[in-house]
Amino acid sequence: MQRSGAELYDWLVSHGSIAHRDEVRQAGFGTSLLRSFVRDGPAEMIRRAWVALPAAAPDLVAAARAGGRVSCTTLARRRAWWIPASALGAVHLHMTPGSGSARTPAGWDGALHWTKPVAPVPLGSLLASIEDALAHIAVCEPFDTALVLWESAARVERLAAEYLRSVRWGTRAARELAQAVGGLSDSGLETLVVVPLRRWGLQVRQQVTLAGRPVDLVIGDRLVVQIDGYEFHSDSAQRTRDIAHDAELRLRGYTVLRFSYAQVVHDWPAVAAVIRRAVAAGLHLAR
């Protein structure tokens, strides 16, 4: 059956507005239709391999132009892992050594990761594997920030800590992160707090159930730390339950410290000072 340009347009929209030429052909759209669609229609052909509509995501278009795949913190953003505010703008791409020269637009401020793939991906994909994204994060971000990203990925992608330790990582940084991942951080953001507290020599437990509900962190025996995520308080009923749970914990002899996303990410010294004072006052010790 003869396919039309309108059908090709709708098909592209349903596939994220960008697709490999071979995938377009496999969907039943012939070479002559594709040529006329690019010549006369809104689409463009990128590197004679990718067909893209104007609505295609900029990071995918950048990957197609460069001959690479979206990776590192850019893939993290796509997959809804926690990422630092500093990583919101730049596009990070995975380039396979020997794949040819990259072609990036003038003024492009992204990063290219020229590494041998850790895990295979389909030839027609513009997205790197989760494992490769984690490998690039390991060398692209400071250890503490990278650990937050790895913990968030472990939660979102349901990656067991044992699996991450079994991967044949190519760098020492990635291997150290794999050893450090505990897989217990409910939001990933908790890791920003857990790592420095443990460096102080404090006993920190994560996701402990107290009074019928899990709490983010328990320092010692009696000091509870709760961390509200970025999207927190979108649900007033949830907020009410949290306040009631905090009150119940206090009645049971616990000290509860609750911090916001902004405090942990943007004002960690102030958060650290409060926790240090609580420890100095012995609020983490059993009474």
The string of pLDDT tens digits covering residues 205-249 is 988 999 999 999 999 999 999 988 655 445 678 888 889 999 999
The model carries a pTM of: 0.79
Identify the pLDDT of residue 233. 47
Indicate whether 68 and 117 sit together in one domain. yes
Residue 185 counted as domain residue: no
Which residue segment(s) compose the domain that 234 sits in? 190-280
Indicate whether 143 and 220 sit together in one domain. no
Token representation of residue 228: 């509200």
Q: Is 259 helix (H, G, I), strand (E, B) or coil?
A: strand
Sheet bearing 50-52, strands edge to edge: 18-20, 50-52, 44-46
Q: Is 287's pLDDT higher than 80?
A: no
Q: Is 59's pLDDT higher than 90?
A: yes
Distance between CA atoms of 91 and 71, rounded to whole angstroms? 8
Indicate whether 70 and 158 sit together in one domain. yes
Residue 286 counted as domain residue: no
Indicate whether 128 and 215 sit together in one domain. no
Residue 287 counted as domain residue: no
Residue 269 counted as domain residue: yes
Indicate whether 23 and 45 sit together in one domain. yes
Indicate whether 130 and 49 sit together in one domain. no
Residue 200 counted as domain residue: yes
Q: What is the pLDDT of residues 145-156, one digit of tens each?
A: 899 899 899 989
CA distances from 279 to 195, 200, 220, 252 (A): 16, 11, 9, 18
Q: List the single range of 39-43, 87-91, 138-142 with lowest mean pLDDT.
A: 87-91
Distance between CA atoms of 175 and 164, rounded to whole angstroms? 9
Indicate whether 34 and 112 sit together in one domain. no
Number of structural domains (the chain) is: 3
Strands 204-210 and 213-219 turn out to be antiparallel
pLDDT band at 100 (very low <50, low <70, confident <90, very high): low
CB 23 within 8 A of CB 124: yes
